[in-house]
Amino acid sequence: MILKNKNGLSFYQFPNFSRFREIIHGVFTRESGFSKPPFNCLNIGLNVGDDVKNVHKNRRVILECMDGLQPVFLKQVHGTAVIKIDEQSIASGGLPGRYLEGDAMVTSLPGIMPVIQVADCQPVFLFDPTGKVVANIHSGWQGSIKNIIGHTINCMSVDFDSRPSDIIAGVGPSLGPCCAEFRNYRTEIPKQFWKYEIGNRYFDFWSISRDQLIAAGVLPENISISGICTFCSSDLFFSYRKEVTTGRFAAVIGMA
């Protein structure tokens, strides 16, 4: 990923996304926000114990940095619900103001910015440049097991007519195989995923995501994995595993 700086904020971008002019995206670090330790500094998570006023200030500076697109947040629950953001869901008054339960958002509307809140789980961006459809996914280890990536691509295909072979994908900073230890994997992780154990109870969830993207029809050359481990880089990113009481960083994508 490439480190950018705007309005004094640092954020990472995927080169395979930034070559599209209509795409506005970024994975923000924890730097430069208003929150005090242990939520220092750019925490966007409201329900982690941080001062709500500071969280809203942090969210505001991120939105300004992203050209003022209209944000949509979810109540992320490690499930498989994919939320469609379309004219109907906006007209019904549900979005974007309300927090729906879900772990992925899909939209073809310009001006809308799905926001995923992250501390170790994988933020996964998808973009169909032909149909002009974006998705933002929250895939922790439970989301990986439930294949929230596959559910989201299915939604893009069925409801937005996207062809998976057109879709580009980016897997953002998250818990790497270096730090994803599952001591109780025999009870927590289904057997079909045991082949992703890289030794000594450590699992490679980045490879799981890559394989799930490919299984859903995304071409290998269209997949970019940041390779940044949040636990190893907890000076830059929030890591739930490392710090437990901590903030959430922002992974955002939308179309201008």
β-partners of residue 138 are: 123
Considering only 141, 231, 237, 249, the residue that binds Zn ion (CB under 5 A) is 231
Considering only 63, 232, 236, 243, the residue that binds Zn ion (CB under 5 A) is 232
| Interatomic CA distance for residues 162 and 7, integer angstroms | 34
Closest CA relative to residue 224, chosen from 152, 170, 161, 187: 170
Of 32-40, 72-80, 103-111, 222-230, the window that binds Zn ion (rule: CB under 5 A) is: 222-230
Tokens coding 167: 């879709």
- Shortest CB 29 distance to Zn ion, Å: 16
Tokens coding 24: 């506005």
**Which of 162/239 has CB closer to Zn ion?**
239
**Which of 17/203 has CB closer to Zn ion?**
203
- Shortest CB 155 distance to Zn ion, Å: 31
Considering only 229, 251, 253, 255, the residue that binds Zn ion (CB under 5 A) is 229
Residue 195, phi then psi, degrees to nearest 5: -65, -15
SS3 156: helix
**Which of 23/229 has CB closer to Zn ion?**
229
Residue 24, phi then psi, degrees to nearest 5: -120, 120
**Which of 21/183 has CB closer to Zn ion?**
183
Total chain residues near Zn ion (CB under 5 A): 6
Tokens coding 197: 């154990």
- Shortest CB 249 distance to Zn ion, Å: 16
| Interatomic CA distance for residues 114 and 119, integer angstroms | 17
Confirm or reject binding of residue 236 to Zn ion (CB under 5 A).
no
**Shortest Cβ contact with Zn ion: which residue?**
229
b/e sequence 140-163, b meaning 16+ C-beta within 10 Å: bbbbbbbbbbebbbbbbbeebebe
Strands, DSSP E only, in 119-234?
A: 122-128, 133-139, 168-171, 197-199, 202-203, 223-225
The interface mask with Zn ion, positions 150-189, x = CB under 5 A, is --------------------------x-xx----------
- Shortest CB 237 distance to Zn ion, Å: 11
Confirm or reject binding of residue 219 to Zn ion (CB under 5 A).
no
User: Would you tell me which residues interact with Zn ion (CB under 5 A)?
Assistant: 176, 178-179, 229, 231-232
